[in-house]
Structure 1
Amino acid sequence: MPFDEMFGLFTGYWNSILLYGVEFEHPERLWYLVPIMLIFVFFLRKSFVLLQEKNKVKDVKVQRRMWIYRILIFISRTIIFLLLVIALAGPILNVKEKIFGERSITIIVDKSDSMQLYDTSFVPGLQAELEQQIPVKVATVGSGSRSNIGDGILTNLGKNRNILLVTDGNANAGSDIGDAALLASDLNASISSIQILPAENDYSITIDGPSKVLSHSEAEYLITVKSSKGFAENFEPKVTIDGQPYPGKITTEDETKIMAIRPKLDDGQHRIEASIAVDDYFPINNKYYKTVKSVPKPKVLLLSKKTSPLEQIFTKLYDVEKMDRLPAKLDEFYTVVINDMPATSFTSSEIQRLGDFVNDGNGLVVFGGDNSFEYGKYKGSDLLSLLPVNIGAGEKQPRPDLNAVVIIDVSEGQEGFDSLGLSKAHSLNVMDQFRLNDNVGVVAFAEQYYTVSGMNKMTPDHIADIQDKIQRLKFYPASSCSNVRTCSNIVAGITGATKLLEGVSGKKWIFLYSDGQYFDYLTGSYLDYAVELLEKQNIVLYSTMTTKTKLGDITYTFEGAERALRVLAERTGGIYFPPSDSDRMRLLFGKQEQKETSEEGDTRSIMVLNRYHFITEAIDPTAKITGYNQIIPKANARLLMTTSLGEPLLAVWRYGLGRVAVLGTDDGTAWAGQILNQDNSMLISRIMNWGIGDPERKLDYYTQIADGIEGEQNEILVKSSKYPVAEGLDFYKIEENVYSATFKPEQLGFGTLANNIYATNYRPEYTELRLNPQLEDVALASEGKLFKPGDAQGIIDFVSKRSERVDIQKKKVSWPFIVAAMILFLIEVLARRVEEQTRKD
């Protein structure tokens, strides 16, 4: 190797060490330096080199020179062995290297039906203009109602390639676009998109809501109308139930109209049809059909020793039987409700019978009051073993000390929005909730993590230090990232937090604040690895997104990132807080000191803590309560609601195959009357319906057909003690007394099969009519860009820049340290020769 090339490598490696530090494949080998240094010190005190004995050397200057010489030799040998030990430990450097990609581009054109709404006439001209300077390949994907964009990307992906999509991004078949982006990032390939514009106006209509409801109970259905270019015509959707018009409330949001209806249906099967009378491009998506089965009221056992206002609500929705003792047989009931009863009301055998009932797949709902929980001798009772809560003791039993790490994402966020500022504000807010004996640390991350503040008790000095350091955090610019996908490396942030929590005992929590930018890669193995890091130490993670929800004129909600943050939290037993609820993290700390508040006396508002559960989804209670029980969620329970000051209020868990819910306030008799009013009673019915589960599961015979898609396989399920027979259907057994058969509906509208009605709707290709915001996520994750239709020069410049660029790669380099040790050894040998010659002279 020429000297100038070797010198250049040395310089590059040295700069890499200064800029990015060094990692080691075998860091434990660095401990070899300890015995080596001890040996060197020992010989230094004796005689490291052959010199004349000290008593033979009378000249003081010569003695001093000999001593300096010995010290220099000691330093030289130390450095030599240090370099050799470093080489033995396997140093890994982050080295800047030039990456040479393909100076070409592949244009993938979506040919599915929905693309007829967009102007793609520019494609031939764009191709011709690009071909004048770079090689161009054109591929097509999709046809008719099939849009398999992900498959098209995977087929054309290759190392260092550039792909340009001409698509609306609304895939309905094949591989996921996000998975394709993940592979592209691994291959150092880019996926860019053209921001195509709609040329035709079209409207689609859909119906969302439950397919099975309880007889005469209220259920909400949303009729959604979407447009490709906005609502040029003034119209309202027409809704009929069993052929009769049904009015609803309409709201308009951007390019979407939503009508909400809340019918109460009789027993039996019902048809809901929604339509719009418009002159648009695809008439096929102007009607939508939905079937709903209204089933008889399930039987519920209400155990109560007093008259309860719950009876009035329950009677409207369920077949209620009230008793003051647990009966000998429970088979006919779907759920048991215990209303404000002491534990002494149940014998051990009754608790055993109740536990078997729940374990078999049934429900148990427990309401509090002044005769239950801490007032009803629940602590230490057999009944408590069935419940997702323990009994607290209020002020007498403060919560245990907590070990917590706050993780802050400092990667560059959305342009024009200070997501880091919001993260700082939330971090400082959560700091106010910790107590003196809590151990708290802070980690920040972008491409890599770094410790902002180590674990320490929350003394005034530590609090001031943390607050100062958080305030001084700065953005890590995206331009400094070696790879856009790693600009916001959440796995690195979690790694840093888990290292801070290693070896500490007690409860461990992590609070994660991020805008979610670049998080779409966080799927599959990446997500599993992050969860594994947390589960090893029994760490619970709470997360929130610090972001706005719009980017330009495109609705942009970071759905993939939000999904990843939610999975991270839920799989570790934590909670994901949407941006609108991020301030509710304070409720996790339990009972808060009552400060200045508009609530008088002991009045508390009810707060939803976890919105991602059947019971609490899309509800915002306005009720206030004047009393509550001292309950504490168990480790495997899910806390769904608290009071406004953080006292646990609603907790649930699964017990065997069954479900158990506990509401830590009363039935409305004294404390929680507002829960029963029209604005809040849905909470009670949600709790009960969750406990009941499938209201047909105890029937000996039923059939079930889901609404289907035109031309696609649909399934009919039959529960029967005998093998079912129906013309044109071949059934097979899937479990005890349950049979399945498939059929393919070919006609839109309602159909009948085995005395069951079902609906068949248009294909998903005609539902989503605007550009999918995931295209921007894909471009960000793969270092691609979004281009205007005529920006040929911008595309050429982008491809040219990517064809030769600098990237940071991890590289194992031992030889520079070995060579440096050899050079230093040769210099030492030469110096010794000179010294020996000088002494002879």
Structure 2
Amino acid sequence: MITFSQPYFLLIGILALPALYLAITREPNFKKITAFTKALTVLLIAFALASPSLTVSEERNSKDRLVILEDNSRSTEIMHNPNLEFEDIEVERRSIASGNISDLSSGILQNIDNDKTYLLISDLQSSIPLNKVSSRVNQRNSTVNILKPEFDPESAVKIEGPETTYTGAGSTFNVKVSSTEEKIPEPQVKLNDEMVELQKTGIKGEWRFTETFDQEGYKTIEASISSRDKFRDNNNYYKTIKVAEKPEILVLGDKGRISQEFSDFYSFEQRDQLPDDLSPYYAVIAKKNFNEADLASYTAKGNGLIYTGELEEENSVLPIRKSEYEDQGIKMMLLIDASQGSGGECIEGAESFCFERKDEGGALERTQKISYLLLDSNTLPAGSKVGALYYNNEPHLISKPKPLGENKHREKLQGGITNIPTGGNNLHYRAIKAGQEVMDGEGNLMLISDGKVTALGDFYNDTRNSRELAEQSEQKIISVMVGQNPSEFMTEISSLSGGYSISDVKSQEIQFQGGDSSSRAVSLIKNDNNHFITREVKVDGSTSGFYGAEPKPGARQLVSGTNSEPFLTTWRYGIGRVAAFSGGEKDLGATMYRNSELVSRTLSWTVGEPQRKENRTITIEGGQIGEKVRVTANYPVEGLNRQGENLYTGELETENTGFHSFNDAVYSYNYNDEVEEIGYSENKNLAQETGGKVFTLDQKDEIKESVKQFNSTEVEKQKDVSVFFLAAALLVFLSEIGYRKRRGKK
């Protein structure tokens, strides 16, 4: 676009109008031509005097730049300074954490721009999990590399165990030592000032002891290590335990095994009918139907309920209802990994980046067998619409989904699976994308693979692309993990899509809605890992006899069968807690045999605070340096503020670590948990899933080449073009002179 800084000079162009008139009206060609050239010369000079300029865009390149995300939290004070300085690279440092705050997740995301590469220097000890960071980084099309640091000698000790226990109950406590040293110091533990004998757990840096208390009251445990290091306050840890009477639980129905299994922790009373007064009971285990009016008020006031009976009618207290699901065939696409994996000598490409190998390897034989058996008539009914594709670095369609009973489609599909050729590396994301396109928004995708991501996969960002497809998938992805050491990649992909993963050993237990699976034993799987009941709890085994239930809106389905029917569902009713088991036997005998901790956690969650029914209770949460200690009581206490009926709260300021007391209640005060986990947290997923690498301090040249960024900026500038108009005017003027001389005119 041309602009003029002195446009008033364009008025000179008016002087050219008479010449133009003569050029048009005169008869001789000579006079016409000379009049035209004079007019054009005047116009060009007028344009030049108006200072014309042209707006143009150009890229200005700056020097290479390295952006470092630095973790400056307290736990990193023992890290060696990497001293990353380069003569020809500009280094920009951004702090993502400091002091006693280690929210690396927020710190990283706040400093990530679009289409950039970063180097993260951190011990990766984060107060907030980093598992969602990679997907956010991928959305911005950026890459995070990690520098694995070296550390000074440092150790920290911690005690894990219950805050409250009951007389006669055995309580187990774990003592953990986190250390950067090769030889981890062994802790010493005192219980009420008396030494305790520890047992090794078989896990590096962990010891354990079990204690049974006969008397009520507060008990103290102190753990210490001998270590000459920077942080002295984390060499001691203090823990208090309150020993109380066992909470009473009412069992509606047969007392059964559940009462025997947990009698050390709870006092069970069996009734065939609900009593008029339920106030002594912390929770009710109902093994048969009950009138919702009898338990609605009791539960809403903060008590617990566990229901294991069958659903006969609608009950507003329970988190489940009868399913309205109609028996229909499923729609599913099998995605079968047919790559050669790592087997044999590389015959095309380098060993670290191989495209083809001489001998067959990988997981094909196992994936073929699983796929073939899944098509068995006992697993998938004739009305099920099933298709399949196999994949290596490209997907290859065997068949689109069709009813298995139509034109012998089941047999044709099995035949196609047995004839899958082997070859190449795998690219999982291409198979997932192809499966989604074939399914067109309906059904399930079953990914059958060992989940290994090869060098070719890294080159094509296989992990990142698969994650993005799974997060946006309209279909649930069921991952069947093949082999002895399948990649966690499979579990992650299925979880992101709302599906689940299962080992190949259990793959034949998979059942699908529409296959009349209610009476067959199916495997149990965990659906929610963030609830108190299921957090870090392993769910194993199988069950049968599902009651045809579905979760109500607002409920949380924690465990289900591989047939997608709920097995354990919870919700809050008022301020009470309700859990419903909708499969297996009413006494949960088989469930306790395989999943005792699942039932134990369910009891603990529904019972809630064990002292809440006492007339005078005071609860003090253990504190740490830099924080105040919170106190709650159900009666008036000096220094506490009334918040409501039977609720008084306040905060205590404590300076020194150790044991302290307030109003006869004992509490512990420890070092800040910022220096609880010491050293480097082996978390390579963040780098791998964003297309980055993990470097060590001796890889300075590799860091330089992989992480530097070449910056270019597009800028707009005004370019003066008046000289071109003057040159054009001069050219026209000289042309006129030449023309006159040629015609013999002056």
Which TM-score bucket, shorter chain as reference? 0.5 to 0.7
Which string of whole-angstrom CA distances, capped at 9 and with x for unpartnered residues, describes residues 641-665 of structure 1? 77xx989895444373441434756
Opposite residue 304 of structure 2, the aligned amino acid is: G
2:220 aligned with 1:271: yes
Deviation for aligned residue 1:270: 3.0
Deviation for aligned residue 1:711: 1.2
Deviation for aligned residue 1:239: 3.0
**In structure 1, distance between residues paired with 2:431 and 2:611:** 44
Q: 1:762 to 1:629 in 2, by over 3 A?
A: same
2:277 aligned with 1:329: yes
Q: 1:110 to 1:630 in 2, by over 3 A?
A: closer
**In structure 1, distance between residues paired with 2:546 and 2:667:** 48
What's 1:777 paired with?
A: 685
**In structure 1, distance between residues paired with 2:179 and 2:315:** 55
What's 2:64 paired with?
A: 103
TM-score normalised to the size of structure 1? 0.58
What's 1:352 paired with?
A: 293
Deviation for aligned residue 1:424: 6.9
2:259 aligned with 1:259: no
2:382 aligned with 1:436: yes
- 8 A Cα contact 1:520 1:777, kept in partner: no
**In structure 2, distance between residues paired with 1:522 and 1:732:** 54
What's 1:227 paired with?
A: 179
**In structure 2, distance between residues paired with 1:391 and 1:152:** 44
What's 2:618 paired with?
A: 703
Q: 1:166 to 1:540 in 2, by over 3 A?
A: closer
Deviation for aligned residue 1:391: 11
What's 1:768 paired with?
A: 677
- 8 A Cα contact 1:119 1:196, kept in partner: yes
Deviation for aligned residue 1:282: 3.8
What's 2:548 paired with?
A: 632
**Candidates 220, 243, 248, aligned match of 1:299:** 248
**In structure 2, distance between residues paired with 1:647 and 1:563:** 18
2:557 aligned with 1:609: no
What's 1:169 paired with?
A: 124
Deviation for aligned residue 1:290: 2.4
Opposite residue 657 of structure 2, the aligned amino acid is: L
**In structure 2, distance between residues paired with 1:179 and 1:662:** 31
- 8 A Cα contact 2:523 2:541, kept in partner: no
**Candidates 556, 559, 578, aligned match of 1:659:** 578
Deviation for aligned residue 1:110: 4.4
**In structure 2, distance between residues paired with 1:543 and 1:620:** 18
Which string of whole-angstrom CA distances, capped at 9 and with x for unpartnered residues, describes residues 511-550 of structure 1? 4668497799799xx99x977865xxxx766557679879
What's 1:794 paired with?
A: 702
Matches within 5 A, 1:142-153: 145-147=100-102
2:330 aligned with 1:402: yes
**In structure 1, distance between residues paired with 2:341 and 2:685:** 13
2:144 aligned with 1:191: yes
**In structure 1, distance between residues paired with 2:438 and 2:663:** 58
**In structure 1, distance between residues paired with 2:608 and 2:154:** 39
**In structure 1, distance between residues paired with 2:249 and 2:626:** 41
- 8 A Cα contact 2:633 2:648, kept in partner: yes
Opposite residue 586 of structure 1, the aligned amino acid is: I
Identity within the alignment, %: 20
Q: 1:702 to 1:446 in 2, by over 3 A?
A: farther
- 8 A Cα contact 2:63 2:89, kept in partner: no
Opposite residue 273 of structure 1, the aligned amino acid is: E
For structure 2, the 5+ residue unaligned runs are 1-58, 343-351, 354-360, 454-460, 713-746
Q: Could you say what secondary structure the match of 1:456 adopts?
A: strand
- After superposition, the CA RMSD in angstroms is 5.5
Deviation for aligned residue 1:710: 1.0
User: How many residues get paired?
Assistant: 618
- 8 A Cα contact 1:107 1:136, kept in partner: yes
- 8 A Cα contact 2:100 2:674, kept in partner: yes
For structure 1, the 5+ residue unaligned runs are 1-97, 479-486, 502-507, 551-555, 595-601, 806-841
- 8 A Cα contact 2:381 2:514, kept in partner: no
2:633 aligned with 1:718: yes
Q: Could you say what secondary structure the match of 2:510 adopts?
A: helix
Deviation for aligned residue 1:361: 4.6
**Candidates 304, 324, 333, aligned match of 1:363:** 304
Deviation for aligned residue 1:192: 2.3
Deviation for aligned residue 1:634: 3.0
Deviation for aligned residue 1:278: 4.2
Q: Which has the higher strand share?
A: 2
- 8 A Cα contact 1:184 1:190, kept in partner: yes
- 8 A Cα contact 1:716 1:740, kept in partner: yes
Q: Which has the higher helix share?
A: 1
**In structure 2, distance between residues paired with 1:267 and 1:244:** 18
TM-score normalised to the size of structure 2? 0.65
Which string of whole-angstrom CA distances, capped at 9 and with x for unpartnered residues, describes residues 715-742 of structure 1? 333345x6x541xx6x473x66544434
What's 2:40 paired with?
A: none
Q: 1:119 to 1:315 in 2, by over 3 A?
A: closer
- 8 A Cα contact 1:577 1:585, kept in partner: no
- 8 A Cα contact 2:199 2:209, kept in partner: yes
Deviation for aligned residue 1:701: 5.0
What's 1:822 paired with?
A: none
Matches within 5 A, 1:123-522: 123=83, 126-127=84-85, 130-131=86-87, 133-138=88-93, 145-147=100-102, 157-158=112-113, 160-172=115-127, 185=138, 188-198=141-151, 200-230=152-182, 232=183, 236-253=186-203, 255-259=204-208, 261=210, 263=212, 266-280=215-229, 282-304=231-253, 308=256, 312-313=260-261, 316-339=264-287, 350-358=291-299, 360-366=301-307, 379=312, 381=313, 386=318, 388=320, 400-406=328-334, 430-432=374-376, 433-441=379-387, 453-459=399-405, 460-462=408-410, 464-465=412-413, 468=416, 471=420, 488=429, 496=437, 499-501=440-442, 509=444, 511=446, 515=451
- 8 A Cα contact 2:332 2:445, kept in partner: yes
- 8 A Cα contact 1:213 1:294, kept in partner: yes
